[in-house]
Amino acid sequence: MESQQQPGCHVTWITEMAPHIPVPEMRTELFSRAIETISDRLKELEGRIILGSKTMNTRLMAAAFCAHLSKFSEALDWLTEATKCVEEITFRRDQHGQAYRYLIGANFSCIANMMRSQSELNVPEASPTVKGFINSKYDVENNVFQAVISVSKGILAHQMRFEDSKIYLRHLKRATVLDPQTAEWPLVLYKRLRKLRRKKEPGSTPSQEEKDAITKAYHLDPDYCIVQTHYATMLDEKFKCHHYRGYVPAELRESTGSEIIDLMEKAIERNPEDRWAHVRLAEIYGYGDYPHLDKKQGEILFQECEKRWPDSSMVMHKFGIYYKKNHNWKKALDYFKRGLDMDLDNFPCLMDYLKCVSKNPKREDQNYDLMLRTIDRCLPSSKFKKFQLTKLLLAKGLLLWLGDTDGTKKRQACDLWVEAVVNNSDSGHATIVDAIKKGFLDVVGKVTVDLKELSGILSQELRLLAPGDGNCVQKKAVIEDLINEFQSHGSRTVFRESAPGPSRMPLGFGRNSQFSIQTSSTSYSSVSAARPERRPSSPKSLADSDDNWRR
């Protein structure tokens, strides 16, 4: 049995990873939040065909998190769910099922040992099925078996928010090497690569590594509905990207659109309850880059999705995007609000909602207050999501800076920006500095930040920083670094036009307003007609991340 324990399991992996979370209270909050997120995710996925790795690991992670919170009864319930799933799933390869059976048995043994360490607890006896898992002999050195273990560890690391270390990505790549004949691993790798790219470069075209991964998955299993959906997504994204718009021959675009629709319809035929496949089909018709398709058909398909899934935040968000792209800002705002009310964690919906609020025909102070209130509602749920938290703190700081009348709000803005860098030392500094120097954020629009004034406020904050303050040493280093960055940049501020909005400047954001959102008066077609060469990438938006929510 000793050799069988070598790969470890979720309970032991959490113990190995937990030291990276220094504060015990943060561990408790992170684990509790993870369980809540997993429960919500499983409700959303109900009725859908999902990958075996997601089916099993969500339940095994929940069991392990509950055990570390001493919620042993809940932990055992989650293991029971995992046991049912592993018996019901038809795995692509036998070794996959063997690996998950091993993980169930190993997690049960660890949880039982944790319960024995608390003498007052009665340790329940394992069911005959789980006993079989514990007592079985496994070929743990088998490459296919090890691929499942590698992916499981990566998923757990990702759930524990170790995103910047790219642990997840490393484990996924290892699995594709260990088990090159399984479509699931390059598919999951594609999804992860795509998510990272969209965060860093919104609107960019899929990388060659992405295309290779999903193409390999499609060639390995062309009839698998999940693979069909994501392969169609890659084809669509490649053509709708601004790099290609205007330069792809009409015949090629039409044939690609037909291929994508054919793939989506096949996926829906194989799994009629797959909400995401229905939404993607509506997107292709409604705002895909295929002129030969009837966009009104997209609205009809979205209405069918809304009727079928009236409580889906993702459906409301995507329907809002349809109206935004067709310049119906009132309906777009309504659907974004409904989507956000259903799920405050839907970050892409939040970003679109804020942009839509900024273009809403109300008095500027109403828009300003609404945007701040909305950000404050969503900040708590972003506490352990560094990328999202950084952008929200940046946006709130810019709004406070631009709405300042007596100097106090600018100090609050500086505090938020320092907090963002302290909380996200890996990328927060570059994100904040870059945004302030360039003077833009899509949810706010065109921004002017006096860097000399900003450096002065930071210098005052540095002098007022008391040795007894929390993270005093780290805050001091961050503030000094920010001051040096802004002073070296000088007083010049770079500007960027905000994303195109309504044809006229939004009401409530007049020319004399403290924050003015500019909209482009030049249509895309006129620009592309006058510029035949390939266009360079547009500036990256720190607020716009088409994350294709929770698919």
pLDDT at 549 > cutoff 80: no
Q: In which band, very low, low, confident or very high, does the pLDDT at 522 lie, cut at 50, 70 and 90?
A: very low
| Domain extent at residue 158 | 1-178
pLDDT at 47 > cutoff 70: no
Higher-confidence residue: 430 or 178? Answer: 178
Higher-confidence residue: 34 or 120? Answer: 34
Q: What percentage of the chain exceeds 70 in pLDDT?
A: 77
Structure confidence by residue, pLDDT tens digits, 178-215: 999 999 999 999 999 998 888 788 778 899 999 999 99
Structure confidence by residue, pLDDT tens digits, 306-361: 999 999 999 999 999 999 999 898 899 999 999 999 998 899 999 999 988 887 76
Higher-confidence residue: 160 or 216? Answer: 216
What is the rounded average pLDDT of the residues 253-279?
A: 90
pLDDT at 520 > cutoff 50: no
Residues 2 and 148 in one domain: yes
Pseudo-torsion of CA 287, 291, 296, 298, nearest 10°?
Answer: -40
Residues 92 and 112 in one domain: yes
pTM higher than the cut 0.85:
no
In this structure, is residue 54 part of a structural domain?
yes
Q: Tell me which of 127, 161, 178 is where a domain ends.
A: 178
Residue 530 pLDDT: 36
Higher-confidence residue: 438 or 158? Answer: 158
Q: In which band, very low, low, confident or very high, does the pLDDT at 136 lie, cut at 50, 70 and 90?
A: confident
> How many residues are recorded in the chain?
551
Residue 111 pLDDT: 92
- CATH number, domain containing residue 238: 1.25.40.10
Q: Tell me which of 161, 178, 195 is where a domain ends.
A: 178
What is the rounded average pLDDT of the residues 485-491?
A: 69
Q: Token pair of 2, please? A: 């000793």
Residues 140 and 73 in one domain: yes
Output the CA–CA distances (angstroms, integers) from residue 232 to 186, 237, 443, 491, in the order listed.
15, 9, 30, 47
Residues 153 and 11 in one domain: yes
Residues 152 and 6 in one domain: yes
Residues 88 and 225 in one domain: no
Q: Return the bridge partners of 441, or none.
A: 445
How buried is 249 (Cβ within 10 angstroms: 0-12 exposed, 13-18 middle, 19+ buried)? exposed
What is the rounded average pLDDT of the residues 236-263?
A: 79
| Cβ-count burial 349-374 (b if 16+ within 10 Å, e if not) | bbbbbbbbbbbbeeebeebbebbeeb
Question: How many separate domains does the chain show?
Answer: 3
Residues 192 and 259 in one domain: yes
In this structure, is residue 404 part of a structural domain?
yes
Structure confidence by residue, pLDDT tens digits, 146-179: 999 999 999 998 887 755 557 889 999 999 999 9
Higher-confidence residue: 152 or 90? Answer: 152
Among 274-283, 377-386, 536-545, the least confident range = 536-545
| Residue 238: closest CA among 302, 194, 187 | 194
**How far is the C-alpha of 227 from the C-alpha of 235, rounded, in Å?**
12
**Strand bridging mode 445-446 / 440-441:** antiparallel
Q: In which band, very low, low, confident or very high, does the pLDDT at 527 lie, cut at 50, 70 and 90?
A: very low
In this structure, is residue 73 part of a structural domain?
yes
187: enclosing H helix or E strand: helix 184-200
Q: Tell me which of 465, 489, 513 is where a domain ends.
A: 489
